């Protein structure tokens, strides 16, 4: 019969932490939008941009959080999550148009989401410490 593959709880923990990061980033964007009285995306784009940017950024945060669990120190993973989140949103904006890229590259909403991304890596590492099956 076939052997059972070893479980990878880091992927599940990374996914949960990335979803948590997405929820916190979404809430922070709402509060920031209210405080600044400004829309997160001022240009006329469809809702597909927001979904694509969130999916690209979330996928990157998930993978970085999951694969940095076994790293000796969290700093590289935290920096990669912040930079990767920012660059993923900017890459999706670039696909839509150069004007949107310029707007999103300097947006406080994108910067806030990128600054919150290292928290997902740190949370994943802390959760992996308490899971005896993880490699962290």
Residue 111 near residue 135 (C-beta atoms within 8 A)? no
Is residue 20 included in any domain, yes or no? no
What does the alpha-carbon distance between residue 127 and residue 17 come to, in Å, rounded to a whole number?
A: 9
Is residue 5 included in any domain, yes or no? no
Is residue 1 included in any domain, yes or no? no
**DSSP-assigned states of every residue in 96-123:** H-HHHHHHHHT-HHHHHHHHHHHHHHHH
CA atoms within a 13 Å half-sphere pointing along the CA-CB vector of 60:
25
Model pLDDT, residue 47: 86
Is residue 94 included in any domain, yes or no? yes
Residue 78 near residue 35 (C-beta atoms within 8 A)? no
Model pLDDT, residue 134: 56
Model pLDDT, residue 5: 59
Is residue 7 included in any domain, yes or no? no
- Rg (the chain; Cα; Å): 16
CA atoms within a 13 Å half-sphere pointing along the CA-CB vector of 127:
20
For residue 111, the enclosing domain spans 52-136
Is residue 21 included in any domain, yes or no? no
Is residue 63 included in any domain, yes or no? yes
Tens of pLDDT along the chain (136 residues) come to 566 655 677 888 899 999 999 999 999 999 999 999 998 888 899 889 999 999 999 999 999 999 998 888 889 999 999 999 999 999 999 999 999 999 999 999 999 999 999 999 999 988 887 766 655 5
Is residue 43 included in any domain, yes or no? no
Overall number of domains in the chain: 1
pTM for the predicted model, two decimal places: 0.86
């Amino acid at each position: 019969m076939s052997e059972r593959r070893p479980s990878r709880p880091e992927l599940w923990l990374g996914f949960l932490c990335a979803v948590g990061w997405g929820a916190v980033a979404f809430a922070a964007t709402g509060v920031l939008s209210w405080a600044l009285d400004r829309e997160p995306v001022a240009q006329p784009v469809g809702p597909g941009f927001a979904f694509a940017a969130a999916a690209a950024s979330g996928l990157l945060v998930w993978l970085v959080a999951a694969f940095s669990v076994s790293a000796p120190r969290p700093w590289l993973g935290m920096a990669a999550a912040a930079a990767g989140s920012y660059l993923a949103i900017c890459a999706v904006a670039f696909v839509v148009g150069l004007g949107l890229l310029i707007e999103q590259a300097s947006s406080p909403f994108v910067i806030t989401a990128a600054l919150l991304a290292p928290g997902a890596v740190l949370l994943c590492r802390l959760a992996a410490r308490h899971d005896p099956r993880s490699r962290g």
